[in-house]
Every structure is written in C-alpha cells, then in structure tokens.
C-alpha cells in the first residue's frame, strides 16, 4: 500500500483547514445554495487535493441535496481520534483500508451494514480482499474505493538491446537482471533489478508458496523453508551484483535509466509518463520456483466516522463514487488510480492500456495483508528491521528470520492479552 507523501503546500492547507473546521465541518449549516455541506478528510495533499475536489464537484453537480468539499489532513487517522475527542469530526474520510482493523475497535468508525442493506448494495461488485479489509467482527465499516499492487516496471529499450523479454519466473528475473547490470571501474553504474524494499518480502513469500501467519493467525509462519528460499534468492541476486544497497538513494534510478527493472505501483505511471525518452513496460509479478503467483493488494476506501453529523450525505457520496462504475473510471482518468469496483477496473480505459493492463491482471490473484490485531507491528517492528539487517549483511537469512519470528510472536501474544 502507498503512503501519500504530504507536501509543504498540503501541510499548509491542512493547518488552515483545521483552523476553519468549525466553520465548514460538521456544524450542521447548509451551503449557500441550500445544499447540506459534507466534509471529506484524507491524507492526500498537493496536486491530489485538486483531483479529489474535482471528483467531489462531479458529485455535487449530479444532485442538489449535498455539497462535498475535501480537506487535506496530515496523519489523518490520528487527527480523526483527536477530532472524536473534541466532538467535531468530518462526515467521510478517504481511508487506508489496512487501518480499519486498528481503528474500528477504538470506536472511530460507523458500521455501514444498514446503509448497504437498505440500498441493496452488491458487495460482490468489488474485489473481495478489499471488502474484507473493511470488515471487523463481521461488521462492514466502509466501501472499497481504490486498489493497487506491485508489478514489474522494465526499461523496454534496455531489454531490447540485450535481446531479452520481460521475466515471468524467478529464474528469468535473475538471468535478465544479471544481463542488464552494468559496472564502470568495478562500481555499479546500472542496476539490473531493485532490491531496496524489504517490505516486498510478503509478495516473494507468496510466490514461494509460504504464508505470513499460521492458519489461526496466532503466530508467525514466515520463518519457514519458503521464507529462507526468498532470502536465498535475494542473496543470489546481491552476490551476482545486480544491486548494491544504497544505490540510487536520493535519486529516481528507474526514471533516469540507471535501473533496468523494479517493482512499483500504478501511482508511478503519471510521473514516468512525463519522463522524456523513457520507454518502459509493466508486467505482472514473476512466479516462484514452483509456479506460484503472489501479489498483495493495497489501497483506499471511504468510511463514515463515529458521530458524523451528515452521515446520510456521506453515504450518498460513497455510494455514487464506489458503486457506479463510470464514476470510478472517471476518477482513474483524473488521478490514475484503479477502482476497487471490478467492472470499473476492467473498463477498456485500464485493460487496453499497456501499462495498466498488468495491474488489472495481477488483481485477479492479489491478496491483502493479515488484518489480525498487531500484525502491522509484526511487519514494522520485527520483520522489516530484521530483513534490513539481512540485506545489510549484519544477519544471515536464518538469523534474520529467527529474530523476526521471536519478536513477531511476542507482539501477537501481547495483543491477545
């Protein structure tokens, strides 16, 4: 899942908006045209403020009962808890779905099951892993809105010059990466493949046929033959010299042509499309040693905070955007994001685009990370730090997974009480 970076302009907007919240938030006052004002919060900032407001304006133009406006908030989940304590909350939030299992039990969100039932919303219209991320204890807390995954970006020019085709397996990925790597005076000048993100371990683990947690989600399961196979594969790539830790730091090596292949998400397309002279392709994640496919889905939904004064208006906006495929496609044209609505995601706008098509194909089998309480800390405080030490040469593969398992199991046990 991509965390949207907050620009200085976005921070300034968020600060100004918080100050003005009592005047434009959930005070119950109507807009000057008589429409009820509905305030949406989200972490998106900078240029994305205009994108979201453009979508809100389309909803506003479609009816005259509600008027939605977008207010950027840095650290929106934490801001929401503060707003709840103060009694002034927004009406709808653009929400990182992965945060649902953490914040719903805190009483921050309103279940929407009654709305869904009243309006006969077909939840099967959405990618089911995304729906699952918005459920806690069989209650639904929002509608899935946007989805993403990581697929392989490759430099078409460099592959063609080397007589290569896009990889489909681990072995092909390694062969291509070695052939594409270039050195100058013994120093890496072009990386064949990017190994900078240990957070992608979950994807490789799925490709190896492994699991992050055991069947009842009480303990970690990544310290396994499959987990070791992933780290052995990473080490073989590093030993082959296709990547050096720190290569390209502070730069954009794929965009600059100093990296031939990398895993990235659909959010990168709009930027790369503007790079002069860059001819690139996107292909689905490679399969593991036994042919297993593996990918993880991230993205956003829309939720109604507990205590929202204009919950009905928030629901009408959510329903308009998430359940009507044409509105999801239109936002894809505005901002480049893939809709969580399956019909919208399979619109020719995405499926016939050579860059988006790989992501749509990958969504057919992409999973979501475990929503069990405490797993985010297992990843962030136990697994990824250990993997960083492995990639830095401080720990062996076995030592890294042993350390992550011990710390991760302790975190899960503490969460169970």
121-146 pLDDT tens trace: 999 999 999 999 999 999 999 999 99
User: In which residue are the tokens 């690139």 written?
Assistant: 280
The domain 151-295+373-416 is placed in CATH, from the list 3.40.50.10490, 3.40.190.10, 3.10.450.50, 3.40.190.170, at 3.40.190.10
Q: What sign does the dihedral 53-55-56-58 (CA atoms) show?
A: positive
For residue 199 the two structure tokens come to 């957070």
Q: What is the per-residue pLDDT for 25? A: 40
3-class state of residue 171 by DSSP: helix
Distance CA 294, CA 287 (A): 7
Q: What is the per-residue pLDDT for 320? A: 98
292-341 residue pLDDT tens: 999 999 999 999 999 999 999 999 999 999 999 999 999 999 999 999 99
Are 80 and 93 in contact by the 8 Å Cβ rule? The answer is: yes
Q: What sign does the dihedral 370-42-113-131 (CA atoms) show?
A: negative
Q: What is the per-residue pLDDT for 417? A: 80
The domain 8-148+298-363 is placed in CATH, from the list 3.40.720.10, 1.10.443.10, 3.40.50.150, 3.40.190.10, at 3.40.190.10
Distance CA 387, CA 381 (A): 11
Closest CA to 213 of 2, 363, 371: 371
The structural domains of the chain, with segments of one domain joined by +, span 8-148+298-363, 151-295+373-416
Going by the DSSP 8-state scheme, the letter that residue 347 receives in this structure is S
User: In which residue are the tokens 């928030």 written?
Assistant: 314
Which residues of the chain fall below pLDDT 70? Answer: 1-32
pTM of the model: 0.89
Q: What is the per-residue pLDDT for 125? A: 98
Closest CA to 9 of 83, 96, 94, 72: 72
Give the C-alpha distances (Å, rounded to integers) separating 272 from 189, 286, 355.
21, 22, 11
Q: What is the per-residue pLDDT for 3? A: 38
- Does 8-148+298-363 match 151-295+373-416 in CATH topology? yes
């Amino acid at each position: 899942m991509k965390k949207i970076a907050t620009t200085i302009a976005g921070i300034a907007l968020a600060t100004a908006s918080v100050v003005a919240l009592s005047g434009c938030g959930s005070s119950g006052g109507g807009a000057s045209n008589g429409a009820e004002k509905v305030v949406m919060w989200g972490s998106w900032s900078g240029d994305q403020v205009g994108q979201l407001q453009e979508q809100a304006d389309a909803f506003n133009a479609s009816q005259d009962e509600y008027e939605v406006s977008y207010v950027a908030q840095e650290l929106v989940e934490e801001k929401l808890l503060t707003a709840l304590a103060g009694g002034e909350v927004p009406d709808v939030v653009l929400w990182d779905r992965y945060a649902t299992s953490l914040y719903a039990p805190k009483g921050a969100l309103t279940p929407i099951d009654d709305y869904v039932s009243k309006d006969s919303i077909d939840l099967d219209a959405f990618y089911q892993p995304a729906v699952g991320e918005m459920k806690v204890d069989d209650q639904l807390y929002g509608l899935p809105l946007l989805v993403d995954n990581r697929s392989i970006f490759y430099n078409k020019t460099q592959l063609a010059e080397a007589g290569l085709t896009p990889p489909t397996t681990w072995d092909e990925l390694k062969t291509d990466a070695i052939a594409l790597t270039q050195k100058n005076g013994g120093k890496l000048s072009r990386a064949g493949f990017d190994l900078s993100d240990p957070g992608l371990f979950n994807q490789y683990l799925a490709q190896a046929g492994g699991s992050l947690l055991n069947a009842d989600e009480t303990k970690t399961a990544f310290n396994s033959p499959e987990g070791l196979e992933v780290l052995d594969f990473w080490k073989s790539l590093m030993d082959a010299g296709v990547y050096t830790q720190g290569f390209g730091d502070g730069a954009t090596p794929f965009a600059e042509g100093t990296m031939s292949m990398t895993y990235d998400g659909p959010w990168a397309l709009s930027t790369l499309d503007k790079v002069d002279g860059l001819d690139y392709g996107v292909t689905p994640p490679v399969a593991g040693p036994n042919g297993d496919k593996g990918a993880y889905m991230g993205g956003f939904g829309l939720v109604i905070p507990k205590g929202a004064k204009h919950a009905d208006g928030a629901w009408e906006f959510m329903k308009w955007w998430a359940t009507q495929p044409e509105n999801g496609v239109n936002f894809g044209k505005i901002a480049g994001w893939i809709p969580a609505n399956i019909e919208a995601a399979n619109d020719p706008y995405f499926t016939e685009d050579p860059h988006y098509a790989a992501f749509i194909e990958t969504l057919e089998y992409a999973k979501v990370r475990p929503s069990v309480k405490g797993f985010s800390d297992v990843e962030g405080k136990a697994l990824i730090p250990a993997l960083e030490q492995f990639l830095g040469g401080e720990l062996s593969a076995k030592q890294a997974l042993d350390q992550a398992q011990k710390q991760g199991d302790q975190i899960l046990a503490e969460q169970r009480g």
